[in-house]
Amino acid sequence: MIDRERLRKLFPHLAREMEEGGSKVHIDQYRREDAERPTGRRWVGYDPDVVDFIRRCETVEQAEEIIGYLEGRGEITAEAAAELRRRLREEGLKGLGDRKEPDFYHRQG
């Protein structure tokens, strides 16, 4: 625990506010405002899908491995996996979109 004198030396403005009992602000006001204010980060809460993962691949083999993994976990159906494999065979990686470089989501904001 910190004593009052040390608090005053380390945090003079905070100590003064605490001693003077400055204005009271209800925390729920901040929560409400925060919920309504956009974060400025476009991808917050975004859940990438199989195509997002494939678009990070450098080779078709890597993409096929991802498809097999997600199919095995039941995250995509056998039909969806077959369709993705067909597209990879016919169109290659570019058929699913441009490659997403590392830090794609951070750079996009």
Using the predicted structure, report yes or no on whether residue 63 has a pLDDT greater than 80.
yes
Domains in the chain, number? 2
Alpha-carbon distance 53 to 34, whole Å? 31
What is the domain range of residue 28? 4-36
Answer whether residue 43 is part of any domain.
no
Answer whether residue 42 is part of any domain.
no
Answer whether residue 45 is part of any domain.
no
Q: Decide if 63 contacts 15 (C-beta within 8 A).
A: no
DSSP class of residue 29 equals: H
Using the predicted structure, report yes or no on whether residue 75 has a pLDDT greater than 60.
yes
Indicate whether 97 and 67 sit together in one domain.
yes
Residue 11 CB neighbours (<10 A): 13
Using the predicted structure, report yes or no on whether residue 33 has a pLDDT greater than 50.
no
Indicate whether 102 and 73 sit together in one domain.
yes
DSSP class of residue 33 equals: H
Residue 10 CB neighbours (<10 A): 10
pTM score above 0.75:
no
